[in-house]
A and B are shown apart, each in its own frame.
Chain A
Amino acid sequence: MTNKFDDKNKTLGDTLRSRGISRRSFLKFCAATASMMALPPAMIPKVAHALENAKRPSVIWLSFQECTGCTESLTRSHSATIENLIFDSISLDYHHTLQAASGHAAEAAREAAMEENHGNYILVVDGSIPMDNPGYSTIAGISNYDMLMDTAKGAAAIIAVGTCATYGGIPHAKPNPTGAVSVGDLIKDKPIINVPGCPPIPVVITGVVTHFLTFGTIPELDHIGRPKVFYGQSIHDRCYRRPFYDKGLFAETFDDEGAQKGWCLFKLGCKGPTTYNACATTKWNNGTSFPIEAGHPCIGCSEPDFWDGGGFYKALSMPTENITQTALYTAAGAAAVGVAAGALNRAKKNAATKAHPNTTIEDLEK
């Protein structure tokens, strides 16, 4: 039986060597890891040294109001890869989709990991937290809010994975029936790394974990908590179709000459100019392609409120609100502006509520 203490004290280098992985393989692993973390190749020897001596960290993964797409992105990406090797090298002590234990045994595993590694474990969260009625989402009878606040207390750092955990995501979309909020809305006293995307690129998820393993610190973040190394540049700036935008050559429909020639998709609603993510360089499916390369505009899934951005196929240059209506309210005078905006918001909320009728248990049983 494995000595648990020894197992926890193993370095990543020990783990890899015990599996018969050669130094040459390790160098290959480091080259791919540095590439994955968008580090310059000159950093490969430093990554190798740091990773070799990195301790196997305890990771607790909590899933709240989510579709499991983020976990799918990570685990279904490819079967035997660098990402999997990194994930095999951490101690994933709680993940209710992946773990074998269930019920009381699962919760006991979480509590034991929290106690043993207090102050040192990494907490990963996917999904938003319902603040309206806690009954919308519970695990083992514990509300998402209580479980998050309890588990966050002893975490060294929190990684919010996916747009739901980072900015509320689809549950937060209007009219936000569950009162969904993000991890960052609730926790203010811990370092939080936001890794948005619907889902995030798998290598971006593992890249952040690896950065923490490699450097023992959280990566440099942008103004909304995203690691700059992956979210530092817009899709538009790194898009291979950018020269067509500069030349004013746009696809007007999905089957016109412009679409066939691979011209810019801006007029078809591409949110690339306002979206910060690594899709254009890291790409998906092991670097095969990304939505724009496949001919579809970027929907901006790594940005807050992307679902309410005014339509996936509406160009960014078009207003997202009804200008005539807004102007009419504004014309009512400065004193009335607040009232008007409130009325407009209420009208929009009511319209959205009507457009999305509630589903009842009776509906599901039909």
Chain B
Amino acid sequence: MPETATSPFNIQIGNDLTWNVMPLLHEVKHALNKLIESGETTVIDLRSIPLAPGEEDRILQTLGVGEIQAKLNALGPSEITETRYAGIWIVTHYNDEEDIIGRFIEVTMMPEILCSQREDMIAAYEAFDTTLEENNESSVEKSE
């Protein structure tokens, strides 16, 4: 890692601006241990922690990118990435203008947002049923 980085505002950024990077990474390590031992998940909101320009990038660089990268489109895009450390995910939500509206580190086997939701499945069942009925009706009409 270079000694200093430069922000878009031409402010030189040292390596130890807020001292929040390493404690946060240790918190993530402990959360991973908790997940392994008890299955308990942890979510850390990166917006709630004072970070200097470049420090969030430093956290993301350290965690890296692993095997899974998913994109979903729900009220604007979201990116869900498993880091190079299995069980540690980065979930980034954007609005329609692709501004970040939330970024979380989730220590879990599968982020909740990726799972199909019961309410959506019920609506999907009804929609699927309607589609099949319509298809049935049209095939009956054709045979007549």
Known: A24-B117, A28-B74. 17 other contacts (CB 8 A): A22-B119, A24-B72, A25-B75, A28-B102, A28-B113, A35-B45, A35-B48, A38-B48, A41-B44, A44-B43, A80-B96, A240-B52, A240-B53, A241-B17, A262-B52, A287-B99, A287-B101
Chain A residues whose CB sits within 8 angstroms of the CB of B101 once the complex forms: 32, 35, 81-82, 286-287
Give B contacts to A, CB under 8 Å: 7, 9-14, 16-19, 43-45, 47-53, 55, 72, 74-76, 78, 91, 93, 95-97, 99-102, 104, 112-113, 116-120, 123
Chain B residues whose CB sits within 8 angstroms of the CB of A34 once the complex forms: 45
- The reply to whether A239 and B11 form a contact with Cβ atoms under 8 Å apart is no
- The reply to whether A281 and B47 form a contact with Cβ atoms under 8 Å apart is yes
Chain A residues whose CB sits within 8 angstroms of the CB of B43 once the complex forms: 41-42, 44
25 A-B pairs in the complex with CB atoms less than 8 angstroms apart:
A22-B74, A24-B117, A27-B113, A28-B102, A31-B93, A31-B113, A32-B101, A32-B102, A35-B45, A35-B104, A41-B43, A42-B43, A79-B97, A80-B96, A82-B101, A240-B52, A243-B18, A260-B10, A262-B53, A281-B47, A281-B49, A286-B101, A288-B99, A293-B9, A295-B9
Contact with B along A14-43 (1 / 0, CB 8 A): 000000011111011101101100101110
- The reply to whether B104 and A41 form a contact with Cβ atoms under 8 Å apart is yes
Q: A21-B75, A82-B95 are in contact. Are A35 and B47 (CB under 8 A)?
A: yes
Is the C-beta of A228 less than 8 angstroms from some C-beta in chain B?
no
Nearest CB on A from B36, distance (A): 19
Chain A residues whose CB sits within 8 angstroms of the CB of B17 once the complex forms: 240-241, 243, 262
- The reply to whether B100 and A286 form a contact with Cβ atoms under 8 Å apart is yes
- A262-B11 Cα distance, complex, nearest whole Å: 6
Nearest CB on A from B107, distance (A): 11
- Set A23, A41, A242, A260: member contacting B120, Cβ < 8 A: A23
Name the CB-closest residue of A to B46.
A35
Nearest CB on B from A288, distance (A): 8
- Set B11, B95, B99: member contacting A261, Cβ < 8 A: B11
Nearest CB on B from A33, distance (A): 9
The 4 closest A-B pairs by CB, nearest first: A41-B43, A23-B117, A286-B99, A25-B74
- A281-B51 Cα distance, complex, nearest whole Å: 8
Nearest CB on B from A28, distance (A): 5
Chain B residues whose CB sits within 8 angstroms of the CB of A41 once the complex forms: 43-45, 104
- The reply to whether A282 and B47 form a contact with Cβ atoms under 8 Å apart is yes
Name the CB-closest residue of B to A293.
B53
Nearest CB on A from B50, distance (A): 5
- The reply to whether A295 and B93 form a contact with Cβ atoms under 8 Å apart is no
- The reply to whether A286 and B95 form a contact with Cβ atoms under 8 Å apart is yes
Chain B residues whose CB sits within 8 angstroms of the CB of A280 once the complex forms: 50
Chain B residues whose CB sits within 8 angstroms of the CB of A287 once the complex forms: 47, 99-101
Is the C-beta of A294 less than 8 angstroms from some C-beta in chain B?
yes
- The reply to whether A243 and B95 form a contact with Cβ atoms under 8 Å apart is no
- The reply to whether A240 and B117 form a contact with Cβ atoms under 8 Å apart is no
Q: Which residues between 273 and 294 of chain A lie within 8 Å of chain B, taking CB atoms?
A: 280-282, 285-289, 293-294
- Set A24, A239, A294: member contacting B74, Cβ < 8 A: A24
- The reply to whether B99 and A78 form a contact with Cβ atoms under 8 Å apart is yes
- A238-B112 Cα distance, complex, nearest whole Å: 30
- The reply to whether B11 and A78 form a contact with Cβ atoms under 8 Å apart is no
Is the C-beta of A85 less than 8 angstroms from some C-beta in chain B?
yes
- A285-B99 Cα distance, complex, nearest whole Å: 9
- Set B19, B45, B93: member contacting A243, Cβ < 8 A: B19
